[in-house]
Each structure stands twice: as structure tokens, then as C-alpha cells.
Chains A and B, each alone.
Chain A
Amino acid sequence: MANKRFIRNRTRRASAEPFELEMSSLLDILVILLVFLLKNYSVDEFALKINKGISIPDSISKTLTRKGITIQMSKDFEVFIEEKLITTLENDGQWSDEQDVLIKNELLALKENTEQIEMQSDKASGFNGIINLIMDRELNYEHIDKLMDISADSGYEQFKFIVIES
């Protein structure tokens, strides 16, 4: 009897329907997500990465950004060049000569690097002297002025203030 039951159950197991996953609703969601992402997709190779802790001001400007060296300064007075932390101002944002030198050296090194690449390859874009300033909105103008001064001393003459769409 047990043997017969075993044979009966085995047959049932063999003929059991495989479990089917209902994927149409999942596919609906994915298609909508895809449409949304395609709309926001940008083919521009140049993308700015804004460091954490920096809230940039909004503006009515619609001029797209161009490739250049990025200098970022947070509200805690941390100065980044090309996303690398160079120095932090102390005493509530007081500038010192050493910090000037650090920033200037970094900018000169980047400039030299670009010029060397330009010499080695005809297809290199070359030094354009553009600085993209990504500054926290609460910073005082004195810090912007200082950074522009140091950059101008290092041979960067064009400044672009990075903003977000208002």
C-alpha cells in the first residue's frame, strides 16, 4: 500500500506544473524608468562632480559648462582642486601664505601636465586657462577673490562660476 502511494505521488510530482513568474508588471515599471533615464541622459563627456558639503547657488543662466580645471570650496573652507583636497582654511576662513603656495603649486603642476601632453600629441585639447569655480553659496566674496587671484597668478585667466538651474 505504501508502495502504491509512493508510485501515485511520484506521478503527481512528475506532472506538477512549473511555477511561472508574472513579469509583465515588472516590465511596465522598467520601461517607464527607462524612458525617464533616457530623457535625462547626456552624451556630453564632460561631467562635473560636486563634492559633498557644497551647495552651489541657483541661477537663470543657461550657458553650458566647458572643460576646465575645477576648484571647489565648501562652507567648511575645504579647498579641492580636481576633487583632490588641497588645504583647509583655519580660524574661520583665514588665508595663510602656505595655503596660497599649495594651491598655486597644484595649479602650476596641472598646467605643466597639460602642456606636456599637448607636446606629445596633436590631438590633445591643450591648455585653455579655464577655471570652473564651484563654491558654496554661503561663502564670502573674499574667498572667491583670493582663489581668482591665485589662479590668475598661475596663468588661468578665465573663470566660470558654476551654478544650478533655478
Chain B
Amino acid sequence: MYSLPSARRKKPKADGLNLTPILDVVFVLIFFLLFSVQLLRIYEIGSDLPIYQEPAESTPQQKKKKFELKVYVSNKSIRFVNSLSRKELERFETDWGNEEFEQSIEQKIQEIKNEHPTERRVVIATHKKVTYNNLVMILDKLRGADRIYEMGLAQQEKRRQELEDEGKRAEEIDDILNEEILDERRRLLTKKYREQGKTDEEILELVTEVKIGNLFNQIIFED
């Protein structure tokens, strides 16, 4: 039987947002990401040089060198030596885990780098009973933290060649190159500190110390 439309008849209920397809996509995506997530950030310490190398005097270029850093690492002492002149630069009594000891090592390495900014190579002679953890700490100090790139190797070689063509002696070339690299490093540091908002006085103090990274990153282990 036909009935008139009635106001009492219920209005159709509006459909809510259907979240099921969104949930499906999110679940699948989460599973995919969970399997590929890398929570531990893994890095490497290495050198582009072969780990064992011939002695420093072997090539003509290396024959001109007057300084090559060698570090003797043992559980009793850490010694910094110029392996070419066999002169001991500094000796520290080992105290693994002590912050002051680590800071003094770091300071000495930076002093050596300031005196020889072109030098990137270091030979490490490690006693067999030194633990890997302690060795990595020493490698960290030698390599440095910030990656500030002053004059690159290729550019250094080119500049060295130019100075040789001008007729300069080897010692003069070393001195000139050292000064230029130090200047370049100070310039880069000044720019970096300005960007960080430091005052001129602070920048002057920091740059004078030349406390930077990218120190000795060509590591050779003595066989």
C-alpha cells in the first residue's frame, strides 16, 4: 500500500571517512621501512694509502722531506717522533680513559700540525697489547674532527712545482707553502666562525690557536 512521505522517516546517515585504505598503505610502508632502517650510524676510519708502505726515503720527493711523524703507542707511553731525524718530540705516560691525557695528546698533535701543515702522513707503531678501542681513540686524535679543507694535495703539488720553477730552494718552498696553507686555514676558519655569529675578538683568539681538524689523515701502520 502506498504511503505518503513522512518527516519522521530517518534521513540517510552520512558516510564517515573510510580510513581502511590509508591504514593499509601505512602498514605496508612501515614494514618496508622497518626492514631497511639503520639505527646505528656506521662510519669508517681509513686511509687511501696502502696500510704498509716503503720507508720515507724511497722516492725523490720524499727524500726532500725533513719531517715525518711517527707515533709509538703502547700501554706504557705514547711517543711522538720525527722518524727522519729520529728526534723525539714528546712523550706521554699512558693513562687510558683519562680526559686530561687525551686532551694533552690532542694538543700536541695540533702543535705538530701547526708547525708542519703540509704534512698529512703519520706512521703508527702499536704495541700488540694495546686494545682496539684505545687505538681508535689515537686515530681520532690524529685525524681530527672538523673537515676543513685547506689547500688540497693536488693544489699543493702544483704550487710546489711553481715555486721550484721560480728557482726557490726546498727549505724556502716548505716555508712558503706552510705559510700559505696556514693563511688559507685561518681564512676558512674565520669565515666559519663569522657564520656561527662569533665576535671579532673571539675569532681572533680561536684563529690564533689554529685549533682545527683535518690533521693527519694518511695513516700507515708499521709492519
Residues on A lying within 8 angstroms of B by beta carbon are 20, 23-24, 26-27, 30-31, 33-34, 37-38, 40-42, 47-48, 50, 56-66, 132, 135-142, 144-145, 148-149, 152, 157-165
User: What would 7 A/B residue contacts be, using CB atoms closer than 8 Å?
Assistant: A135-B132, A140-B128, A141-B135, A157-B50, A159-B51, A162-B42, A165-B42
Q: Are the C-beta atoms of A164 and B44 separated by less than 8 Å? A: no
**B43 CB contact (under 8 Å) in A34, A135, A165:** A165
Residues of A within 8 A of B130 (CB): 140-141
Q: Are the C-beta atoms of B136 and A161 separated by less than 8 Å? A: yes
The reply on B26 being an interface residue by CB < 8 A is yes
Interface of B is mostly: mixed
Q: Are the C-beta atoms of A61 and B43 separated by less than 8 Å? A: yes
A138 CB to closest chain B CB (Å) equals 6
B34: nearest chain-A partner, CB-CB: A37
The reply on B1 being an interface residue by CB < 8 A is no
Contacts A24-B19, A157-B50 hold; do A61 and B221 have CB atoms under 8 A apart?
no
**A136 CB contact (under 8 Å) in B39, B132, B143, B221:** B132
Q: Are the C-beta atoms of A137 and B133 separated by less than 8 Å? A: yes
B129: nearest chain-A partner, CB-CB: A140
Q: Are the C-beta atoms of B44 and A66 separated by less than 8 Å? A: yes
Residues of A within 8 A of B40 (CB): 50, 164-165
Q: Are the C-beta atoms of A61 and B36 separated by less than 8 Å? A: no
Q: Are the C-beta atoms of A148 and B44 separated by less than 8 Å? A: no
B211 CB to closest chain A CB (Å) equals 14
Q: Are the C-beta atoms of A30 and B30 separated by less than 8 Å? A: yes
Q: Are the C-beta atoms of A137 and B132 separated by less than 8 Å? A: yes
**B139 CB contact (under 8 Å) in A30, A59, A165:** A59
**How far is B37's CA from A59's CA once the two chains are assembled, in angstroms?**
21
**How far is B126's CA from A164's CA once the two chains are assembled, in angstroms?**
22
